[in-house]
Structure 1
């Protein structure tokens, strides 16, 4: 009598970046992992500062690869600490640092049909959409598993507006923050 192999554990793969909404995305991914009885796999993707093409073009840059990877690992640990404190998630799983553009790296990691890929659906204006590729769009188009896009919180949107006004040296009315957080766009 032969035993059938144990199916791999269900996983919730979550993209970890340096955006302010990362904590909310990690929290939602942990909640989904608990609901599903799944492992939590936070993933921080990184690329050389000028991209892969520049790294191949300048071989001396390869000496910096360990440092860039260490910085990505620090960013991942800091994001996990911000989201869950020093106690951790309390969930089984594995944190990964993956070299590559975020969208393709997340899709490569969440490569099982039973996985759930959780990403942030940050606000993107027309200029950002035109100049930078969207991680979310890439994941939605190429993932073999379900993708959960977590929208930014109203508070995050209000803080982004305040930061933009501050950067442009426009007058900041704190009443605007209250109205923005109560009535998100």
Structure 2
């Protein structure tokens, strides 16, 4: 006997548009195909000036603009991930106002839900101490299984370039390419 959607749960995936979140989205869709369940893609957002700043000077147009920007970012991320083509599963997107970890944990609240996240970028000791990662928060607080998808190799390479590592390798590759074209 087939269960209801509430019994089967869903795959809830955090989406920001980053390479890591797009890898998590692809993993979530693949898992949803295997389980025949819905994917809920959640983009979390906070008002301009943060929640505390917004509470001090409530500005509905700024709130509307923040929500509209979040919805546009979610649509853009979904388009990027699937090139506007069919996904092959029930996919629902939702832009939700709130801090990312807390909001994702509250969205993945049904029995049988699975929360899928990108592992995020490498962080230094101080940032880990003062601002725990979203994945770490969700693992500690979620009432459902949490799956973190490793960073894609391209993301690791880009982060290495940002830190200055690998710049020498990139430049030597460019120089080698120039030499080949001169010959």
Q: TM-score, normalised by structure 1?
A: 0.82
> The residue matched to 2:40 in structure 1 has which SS?
strand
2:20–2:155 CA contact under 8 A, matched in 1: yes
Q: What is the Cα deviation at residue 158 of structure 1? A: 1.2
3-state secondary structure, aligned to 2:92: coil
Given the alignment, which residue of 60, 73, 78 partners 1:62? 60
Written as runs of structure 1 = structure 2, the 5 A alignment for 1:155-170 is 155-165=154-164
> Does 1 or 2 have the higher relative contact order (CA < 8 Å, sep 6+)?
2
- What's 2:29 paired with? 30
Q: Which residue number corresponds to residue 113 of structure 1?
A: 111
Distance 1:154 1:143, change over 3 A: same
Counterparts of 1:1-185 in structure 2, within 5 Å, are 6=4, 8=6, 9-59=8-58, 61-122=59-120, 123-165=122-164, 172-174=168-170
Relative to structure 1, is the Cα distance of residues 145 and 73 closer, same or farther in structure 2, using a 3 angstrom cutoff?
A: same
The worse-fitting range, judged by mean Cα deviation, of 32-41 and 128-137 is 128-137
Q: Secondary structure at the residue paired with 2:12?
A: strand
Conserved in 2, the CA contact under 8 Å of 1:16 and 1:76? yes
**Alpha-carbon separation, structure 2, partners of 1:6 and 1:18:** 31
Output the CA distance in 1 between the equivalents of 2:20 and 2:115.
16
Deviation at 1:146, TM superposition (A): 0.6
Gap regions ≥5 residues in structure 1: 178-185
Tell me the secondary structure at the aligned position of residue 160 of structure 2.
Answer: helix
CA distance in 2: counterparts of 1:171 and 1:141, whole angstroms: 37
Residue 107 to residue 153, structure 1, CA distance change in 2 (3 Å): same
Q: RMSD of the alignment, in Å?
A: 2.3
Q: CA deviation at 1:175?
A: 7.3
- TM, length-normalised to structure 2: 0.83
Q: How many residues were matched structurally?
A: 169
Cα distance between partner residues in 2 of 1:62 and 1:176: 52
Whole-Å separation in 2 of the counterparts to 1:47 and 1:145: 24
**CA displacement at 1:48 relative to structure 2:** 1.4
